[in-house]
Amino acid sequence: MARRTTYGTPTRSEHYPRPRPALRLTLVAVLALGAVAALFLAAELAGLRAPLSPGRVSERHATWDARCRECHVARQGVPNLRCQRCHDPGVGGRLDHSAHVLFGSLDEKKAAGAPRLECARCHVEHRGGQPLTRVPETECVGCHDDAGQVAQRIPRFSRHPEFQVLATGRRQATGLVYSHLTHVTLGKGKKAGYLVLDKERRAQGVDSPARTCFECHERQPQEADFQPISYEAHCAACHRAELKMDPVPSALVLGPDALPALAESGDVQPDDFDTQGGQTLKLRVVHRDAWVQVNLRKLQSELDPAGFAAARAGLAARRALLERRLILAQPPAARDAPALAAQIESTRQELAVIEGRLAAAAQAPGSGAREAELAAVLQASADPEAQALGAELARRTSDPGAPAGGLGEGELGQRRDEVLRLLDAVEKADPRRKPQADELRRRLGALRPGQTSREVLERARAQRRATLERLEDELDLRLTGTPPPPETLLRGEVDALRRALREVDARLALFDALPPAATLTADERRGREVAVQALSRGCRYCHVVAPSGAFPAVKAADPVLRRATFTHRAHLTRGEACASCHTAPKGSQTAWSIETSGFSEDLSLRGIDSCRACHGGGGAGEACLECHQYHPKGLP
Partner 1 sequence: MRALEVLRPKQPGNLVWTAALGLLGLLLYVAASWGRSFSPKAGVGLLFGILAALAFVFEMAYPSRRPRAFPLRNARAWLQAHVYLGALAFLGVLFHTGFGWPHGAFGWALWLLSLWTTLTGLLGVALQKWIPVALAEGLRVEALYERMPGIVVELREQADAALAGSSETLESFYRREVRPTLEQLRPSPGYLMNVRAGEERALEPFRRMSPFVEPAERERFDDLLAIVTEKRELDAQYTLQGLLRGWLVLHVPTAGLLMGLLVVHVFTWIWY
> 80, 316 in Cβ contact below 8 A?
no
The 10 Å Cβ neighbour count of residue 190 is 8
Nearer to partner 1, 68 or 468 (CB): 68
Stretch that binds partner 1, among 37-45, 289-297, 322-330, 607-615 (CB under 8 A): 37-45
Q: Is 52 in the site for partner 1 (CB under 8 A)?
A: yes
Pick the piece of the chain touching partner 1 (CB under 8 A) from 67-75, 176-184, 334-342, 485-493: 67-75
Q: Cα separation of 603 and 611, whole Å?
A: 16
Applying CB under 8 A, among 9, 363, 480, 488 the residue interacting with partner 1 is 9
Q: Tell me: does residue 173 bind partner 1 (CB under 8 A).
A: no
Least spacing, CB of residue 156 vs partner 1, in Å: 9
480 is a contact residue toward partner 1 (CB under 8 A)? no
Q: Nearer to partner 1 by C-beta: 130 or 250?
A: 130
Under rule CB under 8 A, residue 64 binds partner 1? no
Which of 158, 147, 159, 149 lies closest to 105, judged by CA?
149
Among 55, 228, 356, 552, binds partner 1 (CB under 8 A): 55
Is the torsion defined by CA of 575, 578, 579, 581 positive or negative? positive
Out of 61, 67, 110, 145, point to the residue binding partner 1 (CB under 8 A): 145
The residue (of 143 and 456) whose beta carbon lies closer to partner 1 is 143
Does the protein bind partner 1 through residue 35 (CB under 8 A)?
A: yes
Q: Pick between residue 25 and residue 283 the one whose CB is nearest to partner 1.
A: 25
Q: Does 20 bind partner 1 (CB under 8 A)?
A: yes
The stretch near partner 1 (CB under 8 A) out of 132-140, 238-246, 332-340, 458-466 is 132-140
Element (H, E) at 213: none
Could you tell me which stretch among 16-24, 171-179, 192-200, 361-369 binds partner 1 (CB under 8 A)?
16-24
CB of 35 to partner 1, least distance (A): 7
- Beta-sheet strands, E only, within 173-236: 184-186, 195-197
Q: Quote the longest CA-to-CA distance of the chain.
A: 156
Among 13, 149, 168, 480, binds partner 1 (CB under 8 A): 13
Instruction: Check residue 40 for interaction with partner 1 (CB under 8 A).
Output: yes
From the list 67, 87, 109, 126, which residue makes contact with partner 1 (rule: CB under 8 A)?
126
168 CB burial (10 A radius; 0-12, 13-18, 19+): exposed
CB of 8 to partner 1, least distance (A): 6
Please name which of 558, 540, 631 lies closest in space to residue 94, comparing C-alpha atoms.
631
Q: Which residues pair with 184 in a beta bridge?
A: 197
The answer to whether the CB of 516 falls within 8 A of the CB of 137 is no
Which listed range, 32-40, 372-380, 488-496, 515-523, lies at the site for partner 1 (CB under 8 A)? 32-40
Position among 133, 138, 158, 381 found at the interface with partner 1 (CB under 8 A) = 138
Binding residue for partner 1 (CB under 8 A) from 127, 443, 612, 615?
Answer: 127
The answer to whether 28 contacts partner 1 (rule: CB under 8 A) is: yes
Q: Render the burial of 308-344: b for 16+ CB within 10 Å, e for the rest.
A: bbbbbbbbbbbbbbbbbbbebbbbbbbbeeeebeebb
Cα(418)–Cα(317) distance, integer angstroms: 12
The nearest distance, CB 291 to partner 1, in angstroms, is 60
- Tell me which of 7, 221, 363, 587 binds partner 1, using CB under 8 A: 7
In this complex, which beta carbon is closest to partner 1, that of residue 11 or of residue 363? 11
Distance CA 112, CA 456 (A): 11
Q: Considering the rule CB under 8 A, would residue 2 count as an interface residue with partner 1? A: yes
Among 136, 408, 559, 585, binds partner 1 (CB under 8 A): 136
Region for 428 from its dihedrals, namely left if φ exceeds 0, alpha if ψ lies in -120 to 50, beta otherwise: alpha
Task: In angstroms, give the least distance from the CB of 448 to partner 1.
Answer: 32
The span from the first CA to the last CA of the chain, in angstroms, equals 112
- For residue 159, report the phi and psi dihedrals to the nearest 5 degrees: -110, 20
Nearest of 556, 555, 551 to residue 540 by alpha carbon:
551
Which residues from 413-442 bind partner 1, rule CB under 8 A? none
Dist. CA 598–CA 479, nearest whole Å:
64
Residues 68-107, mask of contacts with partner 1 (x by CB under 8 A)? x---x-xx-x------------------------------
CA atoms within 13 A on the CB side of 511: 19
Q: With respect to partner 1, which residue has the nearer C-beta, 12 or 574? A: 12
C-beta of 75 vs 633, nearer to partner 1: 75
In the complex, the smallest distance separating the C-beta of residue 24 from partner 1, rounded to whole angstroms, is: 9
Check if the beta carbon of residue 450 is closer than 8 Å to that of residue 407: yes
Contact with partner 1 (CB under 8 A) among 59, 60, 121, 192: 121
Among 66, 124, 177, 457, binds partner 1 (CB under 8 A): 124
C-alpha angle 368/371/374, rounded to 5°? Answer: 155
Write the CA distances from 42 to 39, 45, 54, 395, integer angstroms: 5, 5, 18, 76
**CA dihedral sign of residues 366, 370, 371, 375:** positive
| Residue 147 or 241 having the CB closest to partner 1 | 147
Could you say which of 42, 47, 51, 556 contacts partner 1 (CB under 8 A)?
Answer: 51
Determine which helix (DSSP H) or strand (DSSP E) holds 468, and give its type and residue range.
helix 453-479
Query: Which residues in this chain contact partner 1 in the complex, by CB under 8 A?
Result: 2-3, 5-11, 13, 17-20, 22-23, 25-26, 28-37, 40-41, 51-56, 68, 72, 74-75, 77, 121-122, 124, 126-128, 136, 138-139, 141-142, 145, 155
